[in-house]
Amino acid sequence: MMGAGKTTLGRELAGRLGYTFVDLDEYIEQREGRSIQELFEAAGQEGFRRAERAALEAVVQDFEQAIIATGGGTPCFFDNIDFINQHGASIFLDVPAEELVQRLLLTDLSQRPLLAQKSEADLKDFIVKTLATRLAFYKQARYTVSGKRYNIEQLESLVKP
């Protein structure tokens, strides 16, 4: 889920393992030549999700050993969670909704198309509802790690060959 720490932990984990780190949103922006926000504006969520799937497939083909930080919605569209599980060790970072909200309030929400222009109350409502709808997909990850903070050694042990 957005705010769970995928990018921060992914970068650290990739460094520890000597793997390539790929932030899927950054990869999409490079591939498409425009920001996620611009892609959402031009193609809508459906167009973005198609570009996201194509990028996910490309990353799997381009990098033999990589830690990929997907967007929070990535596992929830098409058969992405099945694709992810077939090609790697998926990890669901299970962070309580209230903690996600607090973390997101510390960021620039205008850079997140699904959160731009939301008040704190609207953000909390959105996170609670979105997490509830996405949970069925997230729970299909191979591993679930719960809590507000994570032990990087624990994550490393999950993905080491």
Check the annotation: does 72 bind a ligand: yes
| d(C-alpha 103, C-alpha 101), whole Å | 5
Q: How many CB atoms lie within 10 A of CB 34?
A: 16
122 is in an annotated binding site: no
- Say if residue 3 carries a ligand binding annotation: yes
Query: Is 53 labeled as ligand-binding?
Result: no
Burial of 140 (0-12, 13-18, 19+ CB in 10 A): middle
Q: Is 103 one of the annotated binding-site residues? A: no
14 annotated to bind ligand: no
10: annotated binding-site residue?
no
The answer to whether 49 is a known ligand-binding residue is yes
Residues in a beta bridge with 66 = 20
- Count of alpha carbons within 13 angstroms of residue 149, beta-carbon side: 1
- Helix pair 80-87, 36-62: axis angle to 10 deg: 30
Binding residue ranges for ATP? 3-8, 112
Binding residue ranges for substrate? 25, 49, 72, 134
Binding residue ranges? 3-8, 25, 49, 72, 112, 134
Binding residue ranges for Mg(2+)? 7
